[in-house]
Amino acid sequence: MSVIDAYSATRNLIENTFSYLTWHEDVCEQSGFKGISQVFQEDPAWYFWLNQVPGAFLLRLHAEEPIADNQYVSLSLHYFPAAEEQIFQDLSAGEKWLLSDESIFDQETNTPEFEAYEQFVSLFVVAEIGFVIDQDNHLQVLLYSSEKGENHPVYEFIDLLISALNFQSKQHHKDVFILQDGLINTSFLSYSEPVFQQFIDAFELDSELREAIIPNNRLNKWLRAAHIDAVCSVNGACSCSH
């Protein structure tokens, strides 16, 4: 059994997905994607900007674990709200201070200065995202977990991420399940039934706590993304590449 490099697998999955998206200008604009920028740290990480969201997102890998012939990676999703957003007022005094200090936080991009990056990575977490990736760098299981309400910008990012992954791979999830633990809801998207079962077994998830989610507009959007027939932009990467 060969070992999958979690760092390379994660970088390839994210960067191939959004590189492909930026070569399809119409889809890029429809998705609300504004830009992506790699964070040059040891662990894979990226900043994201969306057209309808004033703040910036940080997605970074923080844990990994092999599951049979596949690799599970866990990523933290952070959100740095703009000062004019209502959710800015919900931050702690310390978090507000960090975002207001121009010496360590870039007000134009809404991201930490490179030298201050480590001061931010334990804060501003809005969701956990997990991938199970196979040896061919294909997504087999996706999960996301958050205690934020439906109106939080985190779900704009989740929509973008899953739609972009499905658009690039031309496949969509086969089943969706939810696990509720207090205020935290974890949603599981299964792209492969055998691999999903391996995942359940590996983490000893209680099958009685999983229930199918009734399809809704969000799920239908993710399904449709896999079937978009788009033409590659003549001028190369579209303007939404950051």
Mean pLDDT of 93-99: 96
Predicted confidence (pLDDT) at residue 241 exceeds the cutoff of 90: no
Report how far Cα 97 is from the mean position of its chain's Cα atoms. 26
Q: Does residue 29 lie in a domain region? A: yes
pTM across the whole model: 0.91
Listed residue (30, 32, 55, 57) closest to 46, CA to CA:
57
Query: Which residue's entry shows tokens 């930490």?
Result: 112
Q: Does residue 154 lie in a domain region? A: yes
Q: How far is Cα 60 from Cα 128, in angstroms, rounded to an integer? A: 10
Q: What is the pLDDT of residue 214?
A: 47
Decide if 52 contacts 156 (C-beta within 8 A). Answer: yes
Q: How far is Cα 177 from Cα 183, in angstroms, rounded to an integer? A: 16
Q: How far is Cα 140 from Cα 196, in angstroms, rounded to an integer? A: 7
Q: Does residue 91 lie in a domain region? A: yes
Q: Is 239 helix (H, G, I), strand (E, B) or coil?
A: coil
**Total domain count, the chain:** 1
User: Please, where are the H alpha helices in 81-179?
Assistant: 93-100, 117-120, 154-169
Q: Does residue 242 lie in a domain region? A: no
Predicted confidence (pLDDT) at residue 162 exceeds the cutoff of 80: yes
Percentage of residues of the chain with pLDDT beyond 90: 65
Q: 199 is in which domain, residue-wise? A: 6-225
Q: Does residue 240 lie in a domain region? A: no
Q: Does residue 238 lie in a domain region? A: no
Q: Does residue 76 lie in a domain region? A: yes
Q: Which tens digit of pLDDT belongs to each residue from 29-72?
A: 889 999 999 999 888 999 999 999 999 999 999 999 999 899 99
Predicted confidence (pLDDT) at residue 238 exceeds the cutoff of 70: no
Q: Which tens digit of pLDDT belongs to each residue from 150-161?
A: 889 999 999 999
Q: Does residue 160 lie in a domain region? A: yes
